[in-house]
Structure 1
Amino acid sequence: MPEAPLPGAPELRPVTFDILAEALRRSWADMKRAPFFGAVFAGFYVALGLVMAWVTIATGQSYWLIFAAVGFPLIGPFAAVGLYEVSRRLDQGRAMDLYQIFGVVARQSKRQLPSISAIIIFMFLFWFFIAHMIFALFMGSMTLTNVSTSFEVYLTVNGLTMLGLGTVVGAGFALLLYMITVISLPMLLDREVDYVTAMITSFQTVQENLLPMLAWATFIAVVTFISLLPAFLGLFFTLPLLGHATWHLYRLVSEPG
């Protein structure tokens, strides 16, 4: 029988750098104890990234990357829940049953996870709209140039301004997305709570523990960016590491003592 989620949002302890370090230690232990599941869930991301990169190169149509960006946040929370469930079972000493673990992931489609996935997708689409606006604002008046091959246009005053503004705005979107999901996603697996309450709790947790949680966000951004460079293959390591660590971070701050 599936385990019934606990009701309501938990009381959360302050986040410290020691807790972040402990979350990473437990994550590494989970990766060594259950490497198969980390490879399976990371494989969804790697496969999608490689397919979309191939389609983009083969067709020369960069708009395919938009569909990839929409697909990533769509499957991301479900892949993360799978890793959370693996860590939860390891903590409880329960069997690593393939059918039951994927069953937990499937059952989230009937709970609150689709709603928060829709919020994530909406934010990504809105970011694409804003990014196109910024591009048109600074590059629309320039002489018609293929920006995919003539990289010197980015070194002009308009190009550098566009890159700077786009980076700031994009970082703001990424920070907001991080603040509303870092605690809410594992909470939605662990608790019977609505997605709005989960997002508010997550946002407040980051707000009240700004320094360690911003350090955690920076760590996630850096290791994820590095893992994308070798043809997405680094995600086989970083996604399980970050997925298990996110679950343990949530458990460490939600359990007393």
Structure 2
Amino acid sequence: MTSKTEESTQPDAPTPQQGGIPEVNKVTADDITASLKAGFSDFLAHPFMSGFFGLFYAVFGILLVWCLVWLGKIWMIIPAVVGFPLVAPFAAAGLYEMSRRLQKGESFGWADILTVMADQRKREMGWMAFVTLFIFWVWMYQVRLWLAIVLQNASFSDVGGFLNTVFFTPEGWTFLAIGTCSGALLSAALFTVTVVAMPMLLDRECDFVTAMLTSVEVVKQNPVVMLGWAAIISVTVLLSMVPAFLGLIFTLPILGHTTWHLYQRAVAPVEG
């Protein structure tokens, strides 16, 4: 006969570890440089596989702009393009797994990486995707709000008319100033909670709240270095989108691999 005490000690199913925030290390500009070199090395180790993730992201961006033009939502093009990099950390999940395996000297193929990515839906990565997409939605909504308030009488019948209004009128300059400030705040918030959260969720069993809090702690302990890393990501991604998003085929994989190595330097490994 099984006792009630024995029954209560048997868990129904494995759950993510609910421990505290792992130890966070101090990182320097040298760590970013070393991580960039390691990220570039990972890209060269599997350029076609890495480039696939960059190509997928670039094609998605092209289709996004095309759909907005087709739907006549001209006003959404600039905020969509500017906010597009916000979802990059989630898109790089496969790149993190590649770097993890390369770091351990493990061989892998397409099926290995894609299977691991598919399995993330059973873990906490889905919640992080929700957080990312929610902030992207907030960004798009507040842009629409400021458009209605600042450019209420403007008409956007085509891309040229929209660009002319935004860049060559006082109202457009006001809209750009407000949008830049609000966008910077949202981007800073998202960067703070995701800079190491995504690779951490792939690397170890933990809940997404712990991963976000760890990411916040990394930024808190290394504000200047993390600000520099955020600037590198922002400038690189925005410049890569200028040639019809095609630069992302190369830059996104390198930044994704680099993020993995920076995470490894910023967060202490799991004990045992």
TM-score when normalising by structure 2: 0.82
> What is the aligned partner in structure 2 of residue 211 from structure 1?
224
Aligned 1:1-257 pairs, distance under 5 A: 8=19, 9-58=21-70, 60-62=72-74, 76-140=88-152, 142=153, 144=155, 146=157, 148-150=159-161, 151-154=163-166, 155-255=168-268
Most deviating of 73-82 and 197-206? 73-82
Gaps of 5+ in 2: 1-15
8 Å CA contact 2:74, 2:157 repeated in 1: no
- 1:75 deviates by 7.2
Contact conserved, 1:77 with 1:117, CA < 8 A, in 2?
Answer: no
Q: 1:109/1:76 Cα in 2 relative to 1: closer, same or farther (>3 Å)?
A: farther
Residue identity opposite 1:122 in structure 2: F
* Gap change, CA 1:137 and 1:147, over 3 Å in 2: farther
| Alignment-mate amino acid for residue 195 of structure 2 | V
- The 3-state SS of whatever aligns with 1:149 is helix
Distance 1:246 1:217 in 2: 11
Consecutive unaligned residues of structure 1, counting only runs of 5 or more, are none
Give me the identity figure in percent: 40
CA-CA distance at 1:205 after TM superposition? 1.2
Residues 86 and 136 of structure 2 are in contact (CA less than 8 Å); yes or no, is this contact kept in structure 1? Answer: no
Judge which range, 235-244 or 157-166, deviates more: 157-166
Read off the aligned partner of 2:126 and give its amino acid letter: P
User: In the alignment, which residue of structure 1 is the partner of 2:4?
Assistant: none
Q: Which moved more, 1:102-111 or 1:39-48?
A: 39-48
TM-score (norm 1): 0.87
1:145–1:45: structure 2 CA closer, same or farther, 3 Å change rule?
A: closer
- Cα deviation for residue 132 of structure 1 reads 1.3
What is the Cα deviation at residue 60 of structure 1? 3.9
**Is the Cα–Cα contact under 8 Å of residues 42 and 257 in structure 2 kept in the other structure?**
yes
Distance 1:144-1:25 versus aligned 2 partners, 3 A rule:
closer
| Equivalent position amino acid for 1:239 in 2 | L
Q: Which moved more, 1:144-153 or 1:34-43?
A: 144-153
Deviations 1:43-66 (A, max 9, x none): 211121222333344554437859
C-alpha separation in 1, matches of 2:132 and 2:107: 32
Contact 1:10 1:254 in 2 (8 A): yes
Q: Distance in 1 between matches of 2:34 and 2:104?
A: 18
Deviations 1:128-167 (CA, angstroms, capped at 9, x unpaired): 1211111111111x36564743344333332211110110
Q: Which structure: larger Rg?
A: 2
Q: How many residues align?
A: 250
CA distance in 2, matches of 1:172, 1:139: 22
